[in-house]
Amino acid sequence: MNESESQRALVTGATSGIGRETARLLVAEGWRVIGTGRDHERLRDLNNELGERFIGYAADLSHPGAPDELTHFAEERFGSLDLLVNNAGCSWVGEMAEMPAHSVDALLSVNLRSLILLCRNAVPLLRSSARGQIVNIGSVAAHLHADRISVYSATKAAVITFSHALAKELAPLKIRVNTVSPTGTDTEVFERVGVDIDRDILIPAPDVAKIILLMTQLPDTVDVGELLIARRFTPGQ
């Protein structure tokens, strides 16, 4: 496949976990990918690993201007887009009464504000693709009403509702919008929030990436809305 035939994706949060595996898989499938994150070194490593089909773009999505700057970069490099994967996310675990305002701000700005603005900005870029689509990453946490992650869960619930409504709005433009909501996945997020977890109950990040790729291969007549991913039931466990 030559460069002009490759599909073009923008994947946020590509320096780690689900986003990194998604970038790897898309490149392996012949896509060209712009991947983002704050960690310059990891972006360089991915560039070395994946070659010229991967373009790293360092951005802190909690900064107000970052979504616009990132979209301009994508437009400059690719002209248009076939896929936007809004995967970057952060969490905070603890008693609500202890949650610092800056952590509330970080969750709202990264998990929700930047996702909304990137969806908005991507519309003109996705319109020129025959199969333009957005995959937003939600979470089963949105449905569990678990304590100590109320703000995280609320951002993900908002992502899911926003995505359902946007799917209707963008349907006449032939742009799909779906949400993939994983259950606990084996990534760095647990270290980042200081939670010790039994990794045996988690699903591997490369498997979530396979589901994200699957979303790009749906028949033309089908959408899933929100796809909840659970760990496969294992008798005796």
Ligand X SMILES: NC(=O)c1ccc[n+]([C@@H]2O[C@H](COP(=O)([O-])OP(=O)(O)OC[C@H]3O[C@@H](n4cnc5c(N)ncnc54)[C@H](OP(=O)(O)O)[C@@H]3O)[C@@H](O)[C@H]2O)c1
Tell me the residue ranges of DSSP E strands in 125-217: 133-137, 176-182, 185-186, 203-204
Phi/psi zone of residue 163: left (φ > 0), alpha (ψ -120 to 50 degrees), beta?
alpha
Residues contacting ligand X: total by CB under 6 A: 28
**From 45, 60, 207, 223, residue interacting with ligand X (rule: CB under 6 A):** 60
Q: 161 by DSSP, 3-state: which?
A: helix
Tokens of 138: 């939600």
Q: How far is the CB of 162 from ligand X (least distance, A)?
A: 14
**From 6, 8, 19, 50, residue interacting with ligand X (rule: CB under 6 A):** 19
Nearer to ligand X, 80 or 153 (CB): 153
Q: How far is the CB of 105 from ligand X (least distance, A)?
A: 11
Q: How far is the CB of 179 from ligand X (least distance, A)?
A: 10
**From 132, 142, 184, 226, residue interacting with ligand X (rule: CB under 6 A):** 184
Cβ contact 163:191 at 8 Å: no
One of 152, 160, 175, 182 is an active-site residue; which one?
152
Is 57 known to be catalytic?
Answer: no
Tokens of 59: 């951005």
**From 110, 160, 212, 213, residue interacting with ligand X (rule: CB under 6 A):** 110
Tokens of 118: 């990137």
18 binds ligand X (CB under 6 A): yes
Q: What amino acid is encoded at 26 in this protein?
A: L
Tokens of 73: 């970069």
**From 7, 71, 87, 179, residue interacting with ligand X (rule: CB under 6 A):** 87
223 binds ligand X (CB under 6 A): no
CB-based contacts of 237, cutoff 8 Å, min separation 6: none
- Provide the β-strand partners of residue 10: 34, 84
Tokens of 194: 């200081």
C-alpha neighbours within 13 Å on the C-beta side of residue 214: 12
**From 56, 67, 89, 132, residue interacting with ligand X (rule: CB under 6 A):** 89
Backbone angles phi, psi at 2, to 5 degrees: -85, 170
Rounded-to-integer distance, Cα 70 and Cα 50, Å: 20
Nearer to ligand X, 160 or 167 (CB): 160
Nearer to ligand X, 7 or 62 (CB): 62
Name the nearest CA neighbour of 152 among 142, 163, 162.
Answer: 142
Nearer to ligand X, 88 or 167 (CB): 88
192 binds ligand X (CB under 6 A): yes
Q: How far is the CB of 77 from ligand X (least distance, A)?
A: 18
Residues 120-179 that bind ligand X (CB under 6 A): 137, 139
| Contacting residues toward ligand X, per CB under 6 A | 13-19, 37-39, 59-62, 87-90, 110, 137, 139, 182, 184-185, 187-189, 192
Cite the active site residues. Answer: 152
